[in-house]
């Protein structure tokens, strides 16, 4: 049903129109059904909430020198929005991977990322456990922003990119896409961070059940997971 005049107020003092309310039936792979009543539909809320949250997240993890990060989007529009959001962050070197790049340029971006990942791994191995990062030469983190169409093609022999952190800025709706992101973009000891709002928690729970994984809640001190 329509919700004329009803708004949702969010933390950055912005307000978004609620354009509808209804009932949503969620089918789990196990056969269970979850019926949600009075679900509000606010299509523009996500774009207002997540950029600010992303900057807050990167302000913590992105200040670790040479940290290799991959951020996955599901659409070209969101990729453009993310690239605009992070372009002015001085502590991160970011590259946006578009599906219409020339093959040579695409290969160059992937090779550069693998080199950064190798430097991170070597640095982590060489750094004594009691030595703080402040005593080392400071370099920017390196983040590659991609859509699913641009992921390394493992099936045809393309090597994966071993990111220490994989950020799912947009959750895929299918488990196959979720697992492909992990297999093509994450190191063996890597960390996956899923960014979700509102009803997307339901999608995440469905992916968890179908993939047999459990997503832990983000700790207050994010740097501890690195």
Domain ranges of the chain: 1-43, 45-225
The pLDDT value given to residue 158? 86
The pLDDT value given to residue 133? 47
Separation in Å, CA 68 to CA 71, 185, 211: 10, 10, 25
pLDDT in tens, the chain (226 residues): 545 667 666 555 666 666 667 776 766 656 777 777 666 655 555 555 577 888 888 988 888 888 999 999 998 999 999 999 999 899 999 999 998 999 999 999 999 999 999 988 887 655 544 444 444 445 689 999 999 999 998 888 888 999 999 999 998 888 899 999 999 999 988 999 998 876 777 788 888 888 877 777 766 666 666 6
**What topology is assigned to 45-225 in CATH?**
Rossmann fold (3.40.50)
DSSP secondary structure, the chain, as one string:
---TT-EEE-TTS-EEE--EEEEEEEE-TTS-EEEEEEEEE-TTHHHHHHHHHHHHHHHHHTTSTT-EEEEEESSHHHHHHHHHHHTT-TTEEEEE--TTS-HHHHHHHHHHHHHHHHHHHHHHHHS-TT--GGGS----EEEEEEEGGGS--GGGTPPP--EEEEEESS--SSHHHHHHHHHHHEEEEEEEEE---TTHHHHHHHHHHHHT--PPPPPSSGGGG-
Distance CA 126, CA 183 (A): 27
């Amino acid at each position: 049903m329509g919700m004329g005049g009803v708004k949702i107020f969010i933390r950055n003092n912005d307000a978004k129109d609620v354009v509808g309310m209804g009932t949503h039936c969620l089918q789990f792979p196990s056969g269970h059904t979850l019926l949600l009543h009075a679900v509000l539909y606010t299509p523009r809320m996500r774009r207002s909430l997540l950029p600010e949250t992303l900057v807050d997240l990167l302000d913590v993890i992105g200040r670790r020198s040479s940290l290799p990060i991959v951020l996955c989007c599901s659409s070209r529009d969101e990729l453009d929005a993310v690239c605009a959001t992070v372009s002015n962050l001085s502590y991160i070197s970011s590259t946006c991977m578009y599906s219409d790049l020339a093959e040579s340029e695409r290969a160059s971006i992937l090779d550069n990322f693998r080199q950064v990942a190798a430097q991170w791994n070597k640095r982590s191995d060489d750094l004594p456990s009691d030595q703080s990062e402040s005593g080392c030469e400071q370099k920017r983190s390196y983040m590659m922003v991609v859509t699913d169409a641009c992921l390394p093609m493992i099936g045809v022999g393309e090597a994966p990119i071993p990111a220490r952190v994989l950020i799912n800025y947009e959750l895929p709706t299918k488990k196959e896409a979720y697992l492909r992101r992990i297999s093509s973009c994450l190191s063996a000891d890597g960390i996956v961070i899923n960014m979700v709002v509102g009803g997307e928690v339901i999608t995440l729970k469905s992916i968890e059940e179908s993939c047999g994984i459990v997503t832990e809640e983000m700790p207050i001190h994010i740097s501890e997971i690195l």
